[in-house]
Structure 1
Amino acid sequence: MVIVFALVALAVLAVVAVLHWYVWRRLVRDTTRGPGPARRAGTAVFVAGPVLMVAALVAERSGAPFALQRALAWPGFLWMALALYLLLAVVAGEAVRPLLRRFPVRRARAAAPVPEPETVPAGEPADGPGPDARAPAHGPGPDGPERAEAPGPTRRLFVSRVVAGAAATTAVATVGLGTHGVLRGPRVKRVTVPLARLPRAAHGFRIAVVSDIHLGPVLGRSFAQRVVDTVNATQPDLIAVVGDLVDGSVKDLGPAAAPLAGLTARHGAYFVTGNHEYFSGAEQWVEEVRTLGLHPLQNARTELPHFDLAGVNDLQGESEGQGPDFDRALDGRDPARACVLLAHQPVQIHEAVRHGVDLQLSGHTHGGQLWPGSLIAAAANPTVAGLDRYGDTQLYVSRGAGAWGPPTRVGAPSDVTVIELAAARA
């Protein structure tokens, strides 16, 4: 098993290296005349970037000292996003390159000295110099070119520089805007969901859904406070934190998660584990969020005044013998009451349908986070983001409040969703 993992890791690193070489070639080698300061600087960036990226990933997963994780995370994870969009922009530039080659490139020209009329020295025949006279040394003869071209960029170099400049500008702007969008905090999204079994008394009940906060070496305490303020400003009746709260241990991230104690809702705040909790010490985090005032639902159910609220563990918990148990969470309940289920991954919807759940609230996908990641997420999940229906069960998938890896989102803005439940016969 270890050998297989090592071979897969080497294959991935080889692909990453080849793709970086391709982008380096287009952005650095093809835009410089030869070895020099510009090429050396560009090469240094394309060596340091992937090294820092791999180091950041290894440090996070290996539990390296938190100070080291923080030092590596910003440059390493931002390079991950930048490298992706540099690659996409360079590939797009390949389609533009042949068109640009059709445009003429004007080269700078330096005027050669214009020959002055020759004077005839005294004593020489008026019809011209003697047979030993030499051609004037100051310029070409009358049949030669009048101007000599000065060195200028070749057509290939000109096109390479235009395409590279556009690609770099596009990639940097994309990553910059996407990072700003994450750091400013999630925006509120409101969705109305009618439930057939919801009584009229519960019409308008509001659940604030927040997922995938991903507190870690990049997003810390100030980000957690921003999320808490956003959630509380919606004045929800209930708060559902549906997994992937953290990327790290309680020891390292306990202070970052402390603002969650400020979450306020009339019927409380509830929590279920995500896959990243099982990379970070799930049992410790379940106890930690309990001390912060959240109610963990570990394959459990609670009866609220007008409907049942249930929660199941994430699928990753199976690796520790703590996987989801739908029978334990949902069997024996009153079938006349509506049921809302908290489950981190959308793929758990099929079990929810089998158990007659009315609404499942999930996260996990980040909406793809970095386009075209949404295409990959769509291949692995029944729903990537938003509200969908499976039989008599509805599924809502939040894009999440934070970000994993690069603190960047493109085409998948972060959100806190307020689900307003509606009685079908209100």
Structure 2
Amino acid sequence: MALLFVLLALCVLVGGNWYLWRRLFRDTTRGPGPVRLGGAVLIAGGWAAAIGALVAERTGAPFWLQRTLAWPGFLWLALSIYLLLGVIAGEVVRPLLRRFLERRAAKAATAAETEPEPVPVRAGAHEAAPPKEPAAAREQKSGSALPPEPGASAAGPDPSPSEETGPSARPAPSRRLFVSRVVGGAAAAAAVGTVGYGTYGVLRGPRVKRVTVPLAKLPRAAHGYRIAVVSDIHLGPVLGRGFAQKVVDTINGTQPDLIAVVGDLVDGSVKDLGPAAAPLARLKARHGSFFVTGNHEYFSGAEQWVEEVRRLGLRPLENARAELPWFDVAGVNDIAGESEGLGPDFTRALGDRDTTRACVLLAHQPVQIHDAVRHGVDLQLSGHTHGGQLWPGNLVAEAANPTLAGLERYGDTQLYVSRGAGAWGPPTRVGAPSDITVIELASRQA
């Protein structure tokens, strides 16, 4: 079954890239040449870099190699998505543009046929010369056809007047070739512009989003309590120390009472990414910073990263709970930890708590909301979805998660899902801007 899936995926990948090459390079050129060859090299090289980047990251290849492959490989992944979407959309535009050009050419030909021939006037003549008889009429009068002019073709004039003549002239492109070039060029420009703007949005850093969440059990003294929620930073071969510093500066600028880092902090080992994560030591909040693992921590050495974030001053909540003055904050491990015997344990984190107090749970994946509801959690804070990251990936992410992004209610439990601060794979977001959310708790007694 697994082999069948791999073969199917390979067929789809090869077929999609052949279609991309055909529309962008074969159909826009007159014949075999450097453009078609260059297009094949570009597509094959882009996918080689993309697959190499994914393999290098997962196998713990030397970090310099990961960084070398990451930028071209991951950007090609994003670019190929929008190139493919662009040429598919072009299939709708292509016949419409061809029909428009055909109608315009037909109108021009009709206008040329009906336009009267100008009558020459001799200098000094006061009266216009009589109209020249058509050749057919003259032939009827004389009883014989006039001989053709020397060098003239019996078939009439050249049917392609738009083409140049002469030994060094290059034929004008056919209508089909012209349409292919216009549609292919527009698809390429749209894809490059989309990926460029989406990459700029990630590298610029996340924006602050503010959401008010009322909690029935929250005492009046905690009204207005601010929790800065950050998820999915994804420090790695692309997003490094400079990006981490932007995230820290943005969080500190909100002056939160508590900071919640809800998983997928890194994509790599402590040895490679320890320096990149170092700015997290400068996070500032009145009641400290808390951390729970995401699925990517279990690809990167979760136990080592738990110790590293503890060293940086964050408090890991590994199926544990902390009692703050006005409410409890709890955290559970990510589901991916089950493969290592370190999965989520809601009973351990929440089983013996005082249920008259409000409880805020940090859990990386939104699907953990059902366990949170059963354990009487008031608010769950999650990430993981990236809001889809690359449209139309939001359709897939929405089908796999109870909430894609934002605040929703499940019974007596509310779930807030952040789109995340960084990006995984392509450092690009389209239709799902990155964010750091400041949750302001509201007491109904206030």
TM-score (norm 1): 0.90
Aligned to 2:260: 240
- Measured after TM superposition, the shift of residue 421 of structure 1 is 0.2
Does 2:95 match 1:98? yes
Partner AA of 1:20 in structure 2: N
1:145 alignment partner AA: P
Alpha-carbon distance in structure 2 between the residues aligned to 1:313 and 1:216: 21
Q: Which runs of 5+ in 1 are unaligned?
A: 108-133
Question: In 2, distance between residues paired with 1:353 and 1:80?
Answer: 38
Residue of structure 2 equivalent to 1:16: 13
The count of aligned residue pairs is 398
Identity %: 76
Equivalent residue for 2:79?
82
Q: Residue by residue, what CA displacement relative to the aligned partner does 1:371-420 show, whole Å, maximum 9, x if unpaired?
A: 01111011100000000000000000000000000000000000000000
What residue number does 1:177 align with?
197
* Counterpart selection for 2:250 from 210, 217, 230: 230
For the pair 1:421 / 2:421, whether they are aligned, the reply is no
Alignment correspondent of 1:68: 65
Q: Cα distance, 1:147 vs. partner?
A: 8.0
Which residue among 308, 329, 343 is the counterpart of 1:323? Answer: 343
Partner of 2:33: 36
Which of 160, 174, 179 is the aligned partner of 2:180?
Answer: 160
Partners in 1 of 2:31 and 2:429 — Cα distance?
37
From the superposition, tell whether residues 199 and 163 of structure 1 become closer, same or farther in structure 2 (CA, over 3 Å).
same
Amino acid in the other structure paired with 1:218: V
1: CA distance between counterparts of 2:244 and 2:403?
A: 27
Amino acid at match of 2:67: R
Aligned to 2:140: none
Partner amino acid for 1:185?
G
* Residue segments in structure 2 that go unaligned for 5+ positions in a row: 106-146, 164-170
Distance in 1 (CA, whole Å) between partners of 2:287 and 2:252 is: 13
The CA distance in 2 between the partners of 1:218 and 1:242, in whole Å, is: 21
Change (3 A) 1:246 1:145: same
Counterpart in the other structure of 1:145: 157
**Aligned equivalent of 1:336, options 356, 375, 379:** 356
For residues 142 and 335 of structure 1, do their structure 2 counterparts lie closer, same or farther at Cα, with a shift above 3 Å needed? closer
Confirm or deny that 1:58 pairs with 2:55.
yes
Per-residue displacement from partner, 1:167-201 (whole Å, max 9, x unpaired)?
Answer: 10111000000000000000000000000000000
SS in 2 for 1:34: coil
Alpha-carbon distance in structure 1 between the residues aligned to 2:58 and 2:11:
20
Quick one: which amino acid aligns to residue 44 of structure 1? Answer: V
- Which of 304, 315, 323 aligns to 1:295? It is 315
Distance in 1, matches of 2:369 and 2:232, equals 18
What is the RMSD of the two structures over their aligned residues, measured on CA atoms? Answer: 1.9
- Match in the other structure for 1:351: 371
CA distance in 2, matches of 1:144, 1:348: 79
Whole-angstrom distance in 2 between the partners of 1:178 and 1:44: 25
* Structure 1 position 146, deviation (Å): 7.2
Counterpart CA distance in 1 for 2:4 and 2:282 is: 47
Segments of 4+ moved more than 6 angstroms:
none
Shift of 1:234: 0.3
Q: 2:227 and 2:7 mapped to 1: Cα distance?
A: 45
1:193-342 aligned at under 5 Å gives the runs 193-342=213-362
State the shift of 1:15 in Å.
1.6
Deviations 1:337-387 (A, max 9, x none): 000000000000000000000000000000000001111011100000000
CA distance in 2, matches of 1:37, 1:204: 64
Structure 2 SS opposite 1:357: coil
Deviation (angstroms), 1:14 = 2.6
User: SS at 1:104's partner residue?
Assistant: helix
Q: Which residue of 2 aligns with 1:120?
A: none
Change (3 A) 1:143 1:220: closer
Shift of 1:136: 7.0
AA aligned to 1:72 is L
SS in 1 for 2:192: helix
Q: Distance in 2 between matches of 1:386 and 1:32?
A: 48
